[in-house]
Amino acid sequence: MENHGELHRAILNNIPDQAWLKDTESRYVLVNEAFMEACGRPEQDIIGRTPDQVWSPELGEVYLDTDRTVLESGKRRRYEERRPGPNGKLLWFDTVKMPVRGAHGCIVGTVGISRDITDFKRTETELRDSRSQLRELSAWLQSVRETERSRISRELHDELGQLLSGLRLGLNYLETQARALTFGQIDHIGMLKNLVDTTMDAVHRIASDLRPPVLDELGLHAALEWLSESFTQRTGLPCDLRLNMTETLLGELDAERSIAIFRIVQESLTNASRHGRASRVVVELDAHDNHCHLAIADNGRGMDTSHAANGPRLGLLGMRERALMLGGQLEVTSRPGHGTRVSVCIPLRSSADNPAADAVSGPVDPPVTRTAANAVANDASPSCAS
């Protein structure tokens, strides 16, 4: 037995982490050097004693409770804990306790290992803080970009639009001077008028794409209707818009949420027409459980989402960041030949405005997203149906 004890001690001392053996009464039977260094006691002051006699009373009670849990359940227990190190500085430890069984399968004690993970926790905290700062920076950049888009849109509409209108009036005046003009000059003026009209249409379209005035003036409901109608007119791709939220509730969404929803729908429609080769798109917006649920589903060629996650899909990344910045989530479901569905779940209000929202569990696939996907699947062409 003594040789076995020496063997066990040699094994434990070669473990860099704190390690120990206890009997069924939680008395220490064997400890390694790392354990003795951690608690600041020599071996003779540890062996035969219980945790509340070795550690502080608070830690001792915790260790006795976890010992009892392992002994009663017969199962391994793992947890993270924070306790003072030898110099009094608080450190993080990853602790594992397991039952030790005798020759007949009965539990005869417990064995435990505790690893210092302070550096890992510090790195984890720094990474979390860095991500938070990057998200705040991203939100600020999004805000700056929306402000700049609004400014450019306004200047295009007001300044360039007025200049083109003035040019159009000048051409109209020249056209009235028919007696002083040759047929060739009249035809040339007509061509210039058509060119000005085309340019004015392009300016209005670009200005609206940058920041549609309807979003600021009439709200999200009207903006989404305008977006779906203009999308269909421009691409010939039918867009079925289903707004299951009341105009009152839509009007209560703050500017950040309204802009995020609008931009996500805009980007998804662009992807459906440009990359998806779809013949129909369904956009559905609903609200329940204090969250706004948005789904954009198409019956296009789909994609491999595992490759899309690693590729240069800046549009998808931008949509996901918009949702995350508002405390929401965005999920893309797709596979080659079976269309694509973008599902978004965003809190109706910020946590600062609605503290109860923090208690809501993480978003899951809402019924609205399944409805939108089924609607597309039912009407899809044979080559695209799943």
Winning range, highest mean pLDDT, from 130-144, 243-257, 282-296, 355-369: 282-296
Dihedral angle computed from the Cα positions of residues 133, 138, 141 and 143, in that order, rounded to the nearest 10 degrees? -100
Instruction: Name, of 59-63, 198-202, 219-223, the range with top average pLDDT.
Output: 59-63
**Band of the pLDDT at 370, cuts 50, 70, 90?**
very low
Return the pLDDT at 375: 42
The mean per-residue pLDDT over the stretch 191-214 comes to 77
* Band of residue 313 on the pLDDT scale cut at 50, 70, 90: low
Q: Which residue has the higher pLDDT, 366 or 181?
A: 181
Nearest Cα neighbor of 258 from 220, 285, 217 is: 220
Tens digit of each residue's pLDDT (9 = 90 or more) over 115-146: 999 999 888 888 888 877 776 776 677 677 76
Q: Other C-beta atoms within 10 Å of 5: how many? A: 12
> Which of 3.30.565.10, 3.40.50.300, 3.65.10.10, 1.10.1060.10 is the CATH number of 219-386?
3.30.565.10
Mean pLDDT of the region 75-83: 92
Q: Are strands 77-84 and 28-31 parallel, antiparallel or unpaired?
A: unpaired
Mode of pairing for the β-strands spanning 281-288 and 239-243: parallel
Closest alpha carbon to 375 in 333, 344, 324, 341? 341
> At a CB cut-off of 8 Å and minimum separation 6, what does 205 contact?
none
Tokens representing residue 141 in the block: 């950049």
What is the rounded average pLDDT of the residues 200-219?
Answer: 75
Q: Would you say residue 214 has pLDDT above 60?
A: yes
For the chain, give the percent of residues with pLDDT over 90: 28
The CA-based angle 51-54-57, given to 5 degrees, is 70
pLDDT at 358 (0 to 100): 40
- pLDDT-derived band at 278, boundaries 50, 70, 90: confident
Least confident of 210-219, 262-271, 286-295, 296-305: 210-219
Element (H, E) at 166: helix 161-176
pLDDT band at 272 (very low <50, low <70, confident <90, very high): confident
Q: Would you state the pLDDT for residue 101?
A: 92
DSSP β-bridge partners for residue 242: 284
Q: Assess whether pLDDT exceeds 70 at residue 366.
A: no
Write down the pTM of the prediction.
Answer: 0.51
**Chain segment 13-70, per-residue pLDDT in tens:** 778 899 999 999 999 999 999 999 888 899 999 999 999 999 999 999 999 999 999 9
Q: What is the pLDDT of residues 84-95, one digit of tens each?
A: 887 888 999 999
Weakest-pLDDT range from 141-150, 266-275, 326-335? 141-150
Burial code (b: 16+ CB inside 10 Å, e: under 16) for 13-25 equals eeeebbbbbbeee
Write out the DSSP string of 213-235.
HHHHHT-HHHHHHHHHHHHHHHH
Task: Tell me how far apart the alpha carbons of residues 303 and 343 are, in angstroms, rounded to a whole number.
Answer: 15
pLDDT at position 71 = 94
3-state secondary structure of 242: strand
Q: How much is the pLDDT for 64?
A: 95
Mean pLDDT of the region 262-277:
84
pLDDT of amino acid 139: 65
The CATH number of 2-116, from 3.30.450.20, 3.20.20.80, 3.40.50.920, 3.40.50.1220, is 3.30.450.20
Domain assignments of the chain as residue spans, ordered by start: 2-116, 129-211, 219-386
What distance in Å separates the CA atoms of residue 66 and residue 318, rounded to the nearest whole number? Answer: 46
Q: Is residue 362 predicted with pLDDT exceeding 50?
A: no
Query: What is the average per-residue pLDDT within 183-204?
Result: 80
Query: Would you give the DSSP letter of residue 361?
Result: P
Average pLDDT over residues 237-256: 85
Torsion, Cα of 226, 229, 234, 239 (10° steps): 130
